Amino acid sequence: MPADLPTSSSRRTPIVTLLKVVVSAALLAWLFSRIDADRLWASARRASVPWLLVALTIYSLNVLAATWRWHLLLDAQDIRLRRRRLLGSYLVANFFNNFLPSNIGGDVIRIRDTAGAAGSKTLATTVVLVDRGLGLMGLVLVAALGATMVVGSRGQESSPIWPVWLWAGFLLGAAATAPAMFAPEGFGRLLQPLTVVHPEWVGSRIEKLTAALGRFRERPSALLGCFGGAVLVQVLLVLFYLAVVNALQIPVQAWDLAVIVPLSFVVQMLPISINGFGVREATFSFYFTRMGLTMDSGVLLSLVATALTMLFSLTGAAVYVSRDR
């Protein structure tokens, strides 16, 4: 194909982005048509500044925990990088995740920043994917624990999702990832049919992938530590939202947040909106109305928490600019 002709994927990207914008705008317009925007703004202006500062502090601890988790996995692959450098990379990735119309922009930054030390983009990508996978399992575990406590204290009708589904999802996820971690050679053989596309290129990457998984199998403490770090990250996110709830004086318990916060992050992973806008607010509103609260409170909590995370992520912009200089 001539270099001056755009590929089908490059032509499709603006269309997909436009569709995401339409979905986010439509959902936000629908939500704001059903709430009192003036009252929402007045509630936001009355927010407790000390509690918002507490929320930002908790979020900074969350970023430190996520960076530590990433460092554990890199160290297990004998990729030696200073934690300060990894923290800077994670802050930049956080900025890109919040300000680019994609949830994978930050992962690209993390892979780029570690590929040199790893000596392979495939190895750096594998580490990030394992980090993502363990993070998702930690997210589902916290949601399952939260839903179990909610149902135990208020009954099944109080929760929009049954705990058994979350526990089943967690166990299925563990069962699906176990072969890759404990039998990487067999997992590599399952991927061999992909070599039909390009035997040499795909084959070499499968070899690197299975070698990386083999090193993880030899160092299970790194995986256990990363999973523990993933649970800690989710707990800190719940505490972050709890601080925002206190700032806004919304009567929501921590166990409810332990359900809705992880679920909102799962919904945001769906590639149907711009950075989860609209979809996230609709998720909070649905859950809050099931609890007997107003849609206003769900939208308010979601928007204020998002504003704080975007404000914090500007530190990544500062790191990015200073690093380029």
CA-nearest of 258, 305, 291 to 47 is: 305
Q: Over the stretch 113-166, which tens digit does the pLDDT of each residue have?
A: 999 999 999 999 999 999 999 999 999 999 999 999 988 877 766 667 788 999
**What pLDDT does 156 receive?**
66
**What pLDDT does 84 receive?**
93
- 16 has a pLDDT exceeding 90: no
Give the other-Cβ count within 10 Å of 239's Cβ: 20
| CA 55, chain centre distance (Å) | 18
What is the full DSSP assignment across 155-171?
-GGG-SS-HHHHHHHHH
Report the predicted TM-score, pTM, of the whole model to 2 decimal places.
0.90
What is the full DSSP assignment across 39-50?
HHHHHHHT--HH
Check: CB of residue 79 under 8 Å from CB of residue 137. Answer: no
Confidence of residue 12 (pLDDT cuts 50, 70, 90): low
- 107 has a pLDDT exceeding 70: yes
CA-nearest of 101, 110, 164, 163 to 132 is: 110
What is the full DSSP assignment across 237-289?
HHHHHHHHHHHHT----HHHHHHHHHHHHHHHTSTTSSTTTTHHHHHHHHHHH
**b/e 106-134 (16+ beta carbons within 10 angstroms → b):** bbebbbebbbebbebebbbbbbbebbebb
Q: Over the stretch 61-106, which tens digit does the pLDDT of each residue have?
A: 999 999 999 999 999 999 999 999 999 999 999 999 988 876 667 8
Check: CB of residue 52 under 8 Å from CB of residue 247. Answer: yes
**What pLDDT does 301 receive?**
96
Q: Over the stretch 240-284, which tens digit does the pLDDT of each residue have?
A: 999 999 999 999 989 999 999 999 998 888 888 888 899 999 999
- 1 has a pLDDT exceeding 60: no
Q: Report which of residues 8 and 180 the model is more confident about.
A: 180
| Crossing angle (nearest 10°) for helices 254-268 and 220-248 | 110
**What pLDDT does 197 receive?**
79
201: buried, middle or exposed (CB in 10 Å: 19+, 13-18, 0-12)? exposed
